[in-house]
Structure 1
Amino acid sequence: MLDKASQVRINPADETFSHDGVIVRFLLTGDQSNGSIAAFEVTVPGSKRLLAPAHSHDRYEETIYGVEGTLTWTVDGHPHDVGPGQALCIPRGAVHRFDNNGEKAAKVLCVVSPAAIGPEYFRETFALLNAALAGPPDRAKMKEIMLRHGLTPAAPPPQA
């Protein structure tokens, strides 16, 4: 049996996913934190509106910490600009999404507690996005992946 010190590593889940300039780098999974947290970085190019739908999750909180640039997180219809050194906690059940409305790339650290989501979600989602080539992803398949990993897609906003 390994001692605890030999199990401690920097970025034990180091796995990266990318699509159209958006990069998710998983750093820590629930398996590596006794289920307490998962942590990953998200980098978004300037002026990038994301294809993923707004969603909520009932099994965990998500805390966002700004590292570079500014991402606009819309939480329950209210925009919040998160820049370097700022943190935003998205409570369970809150409908949210994010976009980079600025010209510069932005990077945030996302911490999920408890660790109810892992790299499997991003692996499947990015595979679906990359398979769609230049068009939009299969919405039904995206919804199925989200639901299976504990994310609830929000209803689309009403058309004016």
Structure 2
Amino acid sequence: MPAVDLQVNPANEIIGTKGLSVRFLVSGDSSNGSVATFELMVPGAQRLPAPAHSHDHYEETIYGVDGVLTWTVDGKAIEVGPGEALCIPRGAVHRFDNNGTRDAKALCIVTPAAIGPDYFREAFAEFNAAAGGPPDKVKMMDIMRRHGLTPAAPPST
């Protein structure tokens, strides 16, 4: 069996803007594509600047570490706090928001590792280009689609 260069947090890259960030702990490159794991940090009263979305190629499990995030999955609001876990199945339309005043942190586990740091680098570049305003919706949806996410249709009014 070939030697494997095992490392703690082999990805360990922080990608973000204005307090909203992800810190990759393990990417698909270091797990033979089996898992991607990252911390998600969300400031108090922060809404997700990207559209709700689904993904058909992986499950995403959210584990609450600090604060509370509200995940809306197929229209149902679910609060995830410290010590709680939520598995978002393939195809479920979802998004998250921090509706509280306390910063929140969650551990996100993607199986298999069908998404990685490249998606977040591109998405956060678009958030930063918006200079505090909403990101360009067409560009965001293009970035999402190229990385295997399916943007949800806007809610009907």
TM-score, scaled relative to structure 2 = 0.97
Which residue of 17, 28, 37 corresponds with 1:30? Answer: 28
Q: Which residue of 2 aligns with 1:71?
A: 69
Distance (Å, rounded) in 1 between the aligned partners of 2:53 and 2:69: 17
TM superposition outliers: structure 1 runs of 4+ over 4 Å: none
Distance (Å, rounded) in 1 between the aligned partners of 2:64 and 2:8: 20
Distance (Å, rounded) in 1 between the aligned partners of 2:52 and 2:3: 43
Distance (Å, rounded) in 1 between the aligned partners of 2:18 and 2:35: 27
Q: Which residue of 2 aligns with 1:60?
A: 58
Distance (Å, rounded) in 2 between the aligned partners of 1:131 and 1:107: 24
Unaligned runs of 5+ in 1: none
How much is the aligned-residue C-alpha RMSD, in angstroms? 0.9
Counterpart residue type for residue 3 of structure 1? A
Distance (Å, rounded) in 2 between the aligned partners of 1:39 and 1:79: 23
Q: Which residue of 2 aligns with 1:90?
A: 88
Matches of residues 124-139 of structure 1 in structure 2 within 5 Å?
Answer: 124-139=122-137
Query: How far apart are residue 115 of structure 1 and its match?
Result: 0.4
Would you say 1:155 and 2:146 are equivalent positions?
no
Counterpart residue type for residue 52 of structure 1? A
Which residue of 143, 146, 151 corresponds with 2:144? Answer: 146
Query: How far apart are residue 17 of structure 1 and its match?
Result: 1.0
Distance (Å, rounded) in 2 between the aligned partners of 1:116 and 1:50: 21
Unaligned runs of 5+ in 2: none
Q: Which residue of 2 aligns with 1:3?
A: 3
What fraction of aligned residue pairs are identical, expressed as a percent?
67
